[in-house]
């Protein structure tokens, strides 16, 4: 799994294979942000069989039948397929979580209801603590409905009696109307609620890796600070650009990241360039890293260190689902 003195490990693999190898109750915190489209879209044709003297199918007692197409389902099947893809992975996620562990499941408004029902079935409805709304304000505005400018993060715990939640470690935020609370309270700020205002990763920021579905470090920092202790093991098995690992490293947690896309691993190779104590499985990061031995800052956690520049043979995808 992870060597005792390792800071993190990064795997190029199907996450189900990696999950199956992890010991039960070995992970302290899981954050995942699965893609919506698994690329396994099924288009199922619905048929009805009717008696017909000219039919091409022969049934009981030599009677002939024809098949009539009565419909084609694609959206529903695509969705069933998505849940069928997620379910075994979420069952494993529940198994590998320690008793004090938590799962944060990042999704959007189109799927959140279905995913909540799936997760309620796996964790138990009473283990659901919050639906966090991450609100941002970016991108196009359709004219014929309210522009959708939020994501949903479902927060579950394994054991309602003994989970980690460090309220005092959570960074406080400014009051919306500081004039109403007095100078002392205003200076201290307030704890965030279940609605988090946070920009998306700005296009020309040091944090930007070029991975299309990259989530902001600020969101991951808040999750990791609240729901794990220093030294904890944080797992993200839909790792993408490695945001969870970058936040974990910054906060003194260990991480285990999995992605099955080599482009994601190439981005992570750059992001963690110069950080010692990371092991790689199924992927050689060195062609994407500078040849040096001194530790460099992780992209987005201070100075850039030039990591935004794509190097040797890194071909970043233009768009990823999710
Ligand atoms: C929405 S992105 C995650 C982005 C990430 N949160 C970040 O901040 O960069 C989802 C990732 O899941 C990966 N993925 C999809 N199916 C997978 C599978 N079966 N095993 C491992 N990774 C998978 C995709 O390659 C993609 O990088």
Listed in sequence order, the residues at least 6 apart from 101 whose beta carbon sits closer than 8 Å to its beta carbon are 25, 27, 28, 29, 30, 157, 158, 163, 164
Distance between CA atoms of residues 214 and 217, nearest Å: 9
* Strand spans (E) along the chain: 8-12, 27-32, 44-51, 57-58, 64-73, 97-107, 128-135, 150-157, 195-197, 233-236, 254-259, 278-281
Token output for 157: 């715990």
| Mutate-to-test residue for ligand 1 from 17, 213, 214, 241, highest number of ligand atoms within 8 A of CB | 213
Mutate to test the pocket of ligand 1, among 11, 37, 217, 264 (most ligand atoms within 8 A of CB): 264
Domain-located, residue 212: yes
Phi first, then psi: give them for residue 173, nearest 5 degrees: -125, 160
DSSP 88-146: HHHHHHHHHEEEEEEEEEEE-TTTHHHHHHHHHHHH-GGGEEEEEEEE---S---SSS-
Give me ligand 1 centre to Cα 260, in Å. 7
Domain contains 314: no
Give the chain's radius of gyration (CA, Å). Answer: 23
pLDDT beneath 70: ranges in the chain: 4, 37-49, 56-61, 65, 67-80, 291-322
In this structure, is residue 296 part of a structural domain? Answer: no
| Summary mean pLDDT of the chain | 85
CATH number at residue 174: 3.40.50.150
Nearest CA to ligand 1 atom 27: 240
Cα 35 to averaged position of ligand 1 atoms, centre (Å): 6
Residue 310 covered by a domain? no
Q: What atom of ligand 1 comes closest to residue 241's alpha carbon?
A: 9
pLDDT, position 5: 77
- Which pLDDT belongs to residue 71? 56
Task: For residue 16, tell me if it sits in a domain.
Answer: yes
Pocket test for ligand 1, best of 216, 238, 317 (most atoms within 8 A of CB): 238
Tell me, yes or no, whether 303 lies in a domain: no
Question: What's the gap in Å between 161 CA and the centre of ligand 1?
Answer: 31
Residue 295 to residue 262: CA distance in whole angstroms? 24
Phi, psi of 267 (to 5 degrees): -65, -40
Q: What is the pLDDT of residues 212-262, one digit of tens each?
A: 899 999 999 999 999 999 999 999 999 999 999 999 999 999 999 999 999
pLDDT at 197: 95
Encode burial over 17-50: b for 16+ CB neighbours within 10 A, e otherwise. ebbeebeeebbbbbbbbbeeeeeeeeeeeeeeee
With a Cβ cut-off of 6 Å, ligand 1 is lined by 14-15, 33-35, 211, 213-215, 238, 240-241, 243, 258-261, 264, 320, 322
Whole-structure pTM value: 0.81
What is the tally of structural domains in the chain?
A: 1
Q: CA-to-CA distance for 169 and 13, rounded, in angstroms?
A: 34
> Is residue 294 domain-resident?
no
Range of the domain at 37: 8-288
């Amino acid at each position: 799994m992870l060597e005792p003195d390792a800071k993190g490990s990064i795997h190029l693999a199907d996450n189900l294979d990696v999950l199956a190898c992890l010991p039960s109750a070995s992970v302290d915190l899981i954050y995942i942000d699965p893609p919506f489209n698994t690329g396994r879209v099924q288009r199922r044709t619905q048929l009805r069989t009717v008696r017909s003297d000219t039919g091409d199918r022969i049934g009981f007692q030599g009677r002939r039948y024809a098949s009539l197409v009565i419909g084609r389902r694609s959206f529903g099947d695509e969705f069933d397929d998505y849940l069928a893809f997620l379910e075994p992975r979420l069952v494993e996620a529940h198994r590998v979580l320690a008793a004090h562990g938590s799962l944060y499941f990042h999704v959007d408004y189109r799927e959140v209801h279905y995913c909540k029902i799936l997760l309620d079935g796996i964790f138990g409805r009473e283990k659901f603590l919050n639906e966090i709304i991450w609100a941002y304000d970016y991108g196009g505005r359709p004219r014929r409905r309210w522009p959708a400018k939020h994501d949903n993060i479902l927060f579950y715990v394994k054991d309602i009696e003994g989970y980690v939640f460090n309220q005092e470690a959570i960074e406080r935020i400014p009051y919306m109307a500081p004039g109403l609370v007095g100078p002392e309270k205003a200076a201290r700020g307030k704890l965030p609620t279940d609605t988090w205002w946070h920009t998306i990763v700005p296009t020309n920021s040091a944090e930007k890796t070029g991975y299309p579905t990259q989530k902001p470090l600020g969101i991951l920092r808040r999750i990791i600070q609240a729901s794990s202790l220093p030294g904890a093991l944080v797992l993200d098995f839909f790792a993408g650009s490695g945001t969870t690992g970058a936040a974990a490293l910054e906060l003194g947690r260990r991480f285990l990241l999995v992605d099955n896309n080599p482009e994601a691993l190439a981005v992570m190779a750059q992001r963690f360039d110069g950080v010692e104590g990371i092991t790689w499985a199924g992927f050689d990061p060195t062609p994407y890293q500078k040849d040096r031995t001194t530790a460099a800052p992780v992209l987005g956690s201070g100075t850039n260190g030039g990591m935004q520049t794509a190097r040797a043979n890194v071909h970043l995808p233009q768009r990823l689902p999710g």
